Amino acid sequence: MKYTSLLLVISLALLLVGVAPAQDSLNVRLVGTYDTPGSASGVAVAGSYAYVADETTGLRVVSVADPAHPAEVGHCDTPGEALDVAVAGGYAYVADYDAGLRVIDVSDPANPQERGYFDTPGHALGVAVADSLAFVADGDSGLRVVDVSDPANPVELGYYVMPGEIYCVAVAGSYAYVVGDSLRAISVTDPAHPVEVGQCALPHTAEGVAVVGSYAYTCPIASGLRVVSVADPANPVEVGNLPSLDEAYGIAVVGVYAYVAVGSGVWVISVADPANPAEVGYHRYPFGAHDVAVVGDIIYVADLVYGLEVFQFYGAGVEETMNNGRATMNVRPTVVGSLPEGATVFDAMGRRVLNPRSGIVFVRDEGQGTKDQASGRMRKVIVQR
């Protein structure tokens, strides 16, 4: 979705691995994976296909008809670095860094073909499509609005340049929302003359944004999830945040959940109460989760190191253990009158519980073997006293 130094991501991930707890996941399990040949930076899903912006190897088309066995069916190389992708009407629109916007016909997923392009003046970092318009986050050249009604001849209609770089764009109604060092609402009622109508300062640079209803969701690096009311686009106001997420990049929002690609995995955040976002699930693993797309309960993550990762979110109360890289589920809780002395106990938010009382908790059983081995499985326990 955005351009991030792979070396920096890996270095930070190696530091995180050393302090990661034994608990690997909560309510989210790994379903399948496809290791793309490059560095998967962006992902979009349409029908039974995932479209992956794979930096130096262009667009990869991956069948996810069976999420447990994603398989590449076609690809189209691009001249730049494919960083983000949006799909609409049988076409994939790729933000191709210094090669601008590329328009690729994916009506035959096994044989994607570039039909046209528009070389933006800056570095195309993010893209969104609405109707026959493509909106490109073009780095320090601002927001570019491109008419793609004729895919073979994309034409720029208008642009808006703002201070600093923008990394990502989302479109809702007649507004485009862009993020960089702030979240800005741009009126595109007249696509030839985009006009900024309001902004909300962010504590750090953000590289991902999603808009659902009257809220925009963004994740400034090192500042966690931020929920911004855009009910009045002229006066966007932060109404809630979850600062505990570090190194967050991509974000998708479906229903009452926000799904965040963090450098060290994928997190699921309940935004049912926008003023109080709450962690309800995650899957932690090392290195480079960078973008995320969601269909139903299936989460698709573009990972700079591992390619396309496919996860499933089961909702609160599901436990997972890992055995030889395969996920196993046990959804039936154990009912007990008391817990073993010294048990390591967590609540559904993944927080340590020091004095557990009646109710549902999660208990970590310490595994056998050396410290290097994956040890400790989570059990859901109902305490009745």
What is the DSSP track for 305-321? TTEEEEEEE--TT-EEE
Residues 370 and 228 in one domain: no
Residue after which a domain boundary falls, among 317, 346, 363:
317
CATH number where 266 lies: 2.130.10.10
* Closest-CA residue to 245 (of 256, 257, 259): 259
The CA–CA distances, whole Å, from 312 to 301, 306, 318 equal 11, 17, 11
Residue 339: the pLDDT is 67
- What's the confidence (pLDDT) of residue 372? 33
Clarify whether residues 187 and 336 are in a common domain.
Answer: no
130 domain residue, yes or no? yes
H-helix or E-strand spanning residue 12: helix 6-17
pTM over 0.85: no
pLDDT at residue 38 in the model? 96
Residue 371, classified by CB atoms within 10 Å of its CB into exposed (0-12), middle (13-18) or buried (19+), is exposed
Domain match, 41 and 151 both: yes
> Taking all residues of the chain, what is their mean pLDDT, rounded to a whole number?
85
**Ramachandran region, residue 132 (left: φ > 0; alpha: ψ -120 to 50; beta: rest):** alpha
Amino acid identity of 33? T
Instruction: Tell me what pLDDT residue 370 has.
Output: 34
Domain boundary among 317, 343, 374: 317
Residue 327 lies in a domain: no
pLDDT of residue 82: 98
For the chain, how many structural domains are there in total? Answer: 2
- pLDDT value at position 381? 66
Query: Residues of 168-203 as b/e, b for ≥16 C-beta within 10 angstroms?
Result: bbbbbeebbbbbbbbbbbbbbeebeebebbbbbebe
What pLDDT, on a 0 to 100 scale, did the predictor assign at position 217? Answer: 98
Q: 271 in a domain, yes or no?
A: yes
Answer for the pair 303, 289: CB distance below 8 angstroms, yes or no: yes
Task: Tell me the residue type at 356.
Answer: P
Residues 149 and 278 in one domain: yes
- Record the tokens describing residue 164, joined without a space: 């600093």
Instruction: For residue 51, tell me if it sits in a domain.
Output: yes
The pLDDT value recorded for residue 20 is: 34
Among 253, 103, 53, CA closest to 170 = 253
Q: Is residue 203 part of a domain?
A: yes
Asked if residue 78 and residue 178 are part of one domain, the reply reads yes
At 222, give phi and psi (nearest 5°): 70, 10
pLDDT of residue 354: 67
The segments of the chain whose pLDDT lies below 70 read 1-23, 316-342, 347-352, 354-359, 364-385
Q: Do 171 and 201 belong to one domain?
A: yes
Instruction: Let me know whether 136 and 253 are in one domain.
Output: yes
Q: What tokens does 195 get?
A: 């006009």
The predicted structure's pLDDT at residue 350: 64
Provide the pLDDT for residue 127: 98
Does 203 share its domain with 96? Answer: yes
CA distance linking residue 62 with residue 44, whole number of Å? 11
Q: Looking at residue 312, what is its pLDDT?
A: 94
Round to whole Å and give the CA distance between 315 and 306. Answer: 25
* Terminal alpha carbon distance of the chain: 50
Examine the domain organization and report whether 312 and 348 are in the same domain: no
297, 274: one domain: yes
Residue 325 in domain? no
Residue 160 placed within a domain: yes
Question: Which residue range is the domain that position 364 belongs to?
Answer: 332-383
The answer to whether residues 86 and 143 belong to one domain is yes
Please indicate, yes or no, if residue 322 is contained in any of the structural domains.
no
pLDDT digits (tens, 9 = 90+) for 40-71: 999 999 999 999 999 999 999 999 999 999 99
